[in-house]
Amino acid sequence: MTFRYSLDKTTPTRLYKCPSCGKRTLKRYWDNENGNYMPDDVGRCNREVNCAYHLTPKAFLEKIGSNYAPIAIGRHSKEVILLPTYIQKSYLDRTMNRDDPNNLIRYLRRLFKEDLTQYLVNRFKLGTSTYWKGSTMFWQIDERMNIHAGKIMLYDSDTGRRCKHPFNHIQWAHSVAKWKDFRLDQCFFGLHQINTHEAKSICVVESEKTAVLMTALIPNVIWLASGGMNLSIENFRPLKQFKLILFPDVGVEDRNGKTPYQKWQDKASLLESLGYTVSVSSVLENKATIQQREKGYDLADYLMKTDTELGLALNDNAYPVSWDFNSNTFPTQQYDKH
């Protein structure tokens, strides 16, 4: 048996402003069924002698004329829709055009030179985080320009590889800022482009960096990254009118005996049955060696060729990708219409 309401048991204890004495001493009640706080005056003041404020869930519900059901019937019941939290644009703005080092942008500059790099930075709103020296902020912005999340990752500026030692350098803006009650609802990285750039096809890769690199190599489609999130049908909803091509990393089988390719194929079949136009590219799956599989080889690893001397990215004709940038092959940027 689970009780539906209980005082917030989070440690360290989260205390809120008491509606009676005004001090930050109120412990709030938690609704275990929908996994959220009760309204902000439902709680107990810690100053038991000097204040003694206590509004119980029962008293609160009776006050507003609702039924009090103390036993939980199931967690996260479907009747309650919890709204995601969005991040204010001022946080994004603060991470743009910082003077602090950004290893990924440094890496892009070597591959693509200044103009194309700036184009990519603006297009994807690549921010700079000071959480780790040189780290990058990937903002997940949806088609309505809501900012869902900021994912911080650290790269090596020479190799462009993620820093995974001595630990995997991944952090979130909302965790760093310690925003209370932040409800993370991820969206595709790059999703905002469907409103700011015209394209008929959308290609989905796993890594944010790969979406950025592929935009330089193949600019006439929109590149999105799943960022390793567990994709739900809801995530694909804004993409229904597009032709979708999914590019899973190559990888080894997971605990359920499925490779990333098989998992994305399952997802694609489901999407197809719902009326989406979607295919899963097998180009990597058919080519990868065992070693590449273990390393999680991806499309950019496969397609990106660099000049041995300067490290410039080369296109199919073996000349630098940055040369194409000025010849109008890149779609016009319409970002500022928002």
Q: Does 18 bind Zn ion (CB under 5 A)?
A: yes
Task: Give the CA diameter of the chain.
Answer: 79
Q: Does 45 bind Zn ion (CB under 5 A)?
A: yes
Determine the Cα angle at 199 with ends 193 and 202, to 5°: 75
Shortest Cβ 15–Zn ion spacing (Å):
10
Tell whether the torsion through CA atoms of 246, 250, 256 and 257 is positive or negative.
positive
Shortest Cβ 49–Zn ion spacing (Å):
10
- Of 274, 272, 208, nearest to 244 (Cα)? 272
Q: Does 21 bind Zn ion (CB under 5 A)?
A: yes
SS3 275: coil
Which residue among 14, 16, 20, 54 contacts Zn ion (CB under 5 A)?
A: 20
Shortest Cβ 47–Zn ion spacing (Å):
5
- d(Cα 323, Cα 211) in Å, to the nearest integer? 20
Q: Does 36 bind Zn ion (CB under 5 A)?
A: no
- Pick 26 or 312: Cβ nearer Zn ion: 26
Which residue among 7, 15, 51, 218 contacts Zn ion (CB under 5 A)?
A: 51
Helices (H), the chain: 57-63, 89-95, 103-124, 173-176, 193-196, 208-217, 233-236, 260-273, 283-287, 290-295, 299-303
52, two tokens:
């003694």
- Pick 52 or 177: Cβ nearer Zn ion: 52
From 16-24, 34-42, 202-210, 239-247, span contacting Zn ion (CB under 5 A): 16-24
Looking up tokens 């993409």, which residue turns up?
A: 239
Q: Does 176 bind Zn ion (CB under 5 A)?
A: no
From 50-58, 104-112, 210-218, 310-318, span contacting Zn ion (CB under 5 A): 50-58
Which residue among 5, 29, 30, 53 contacts Zn ion (CB under 5 A)?
A: 53
Binding site for Zn ion (CB under 5 A): 18, 20-21, 45, 47, 51, 53
